Amino acid sequence: MIFGSQRDFSLFVGINRELLSDVIEQEILYYKFSLEQTQANIYGEGMDKIFWEPVKLNCLITRGDQVSNVDDFGPDLTRESSFAFLREDLALVNVVPEVGDIILWHENYYEVDNTTENQLFLGKDNAYSFTDQGPNFGASVSIICQTHLTRSDKVGITRVRI
């Protein structure tokens, strides 16, 4: 195969990393949910969720429109957004996005509802191939997290300004 080697993929990731960090410049804090440290009640629910220290990451953000709901408890604001990360950047900081993780962006907390990993370099997955050249060609490019806006008091993460 002529195209799609690890050298080509490294060039592709390098250009995209430079684009995300130097041109687009959308930074978030990623809070990884710690299942081991969170105490569950008799129903298996974690009332006080524990998160690891946040990791600063560059990403591409697609925001949905704000939707206001008014019920018996007063007005509530919701918004769906997606955050696209380079898979290589997540691997460098040892983060695997999962449902329940929290993303902080513009002083708003977004809870991860779903993750998608289906963007492949040249349409090839180096982890799944029937050819002899399998691990040398293609790779997974990005991981996209679909999220919803959540209340800061529900998350339980407080930031103190100094």
Which residues face 28 on adjacent strands? 57
Predicted pLDDT of residue 116: 95
pLDDT, one tens digit per residue, over 16-64 is 889 988 888 899 999 998 767 777 766 666 667 778 899 999 999 999 9
> Quick check: 14 pLDDT over 80?
yes
What are the DSSP calls for 73-100, one per residue? TEEEEE-EEEEEEEHHHHHHTT----TT
Which residues, 6 or more positions from 14, have their beta carbon under 8 angstroms from its beta carbon? none
Distance CA(29)–CA(18), nearest Å, equals 19
* Model pLDDT for residues 103-139, shown as the tens digit of each residue: 999 999 999 999 999 887 766 666 666 666 656 666 7
Find out whether 58 and 27 touch, Cβ atoms under 8 Å: yes
Structure tokens at 91: 């691997």
Q: Is the pTM of this model over 0.85?
A: no
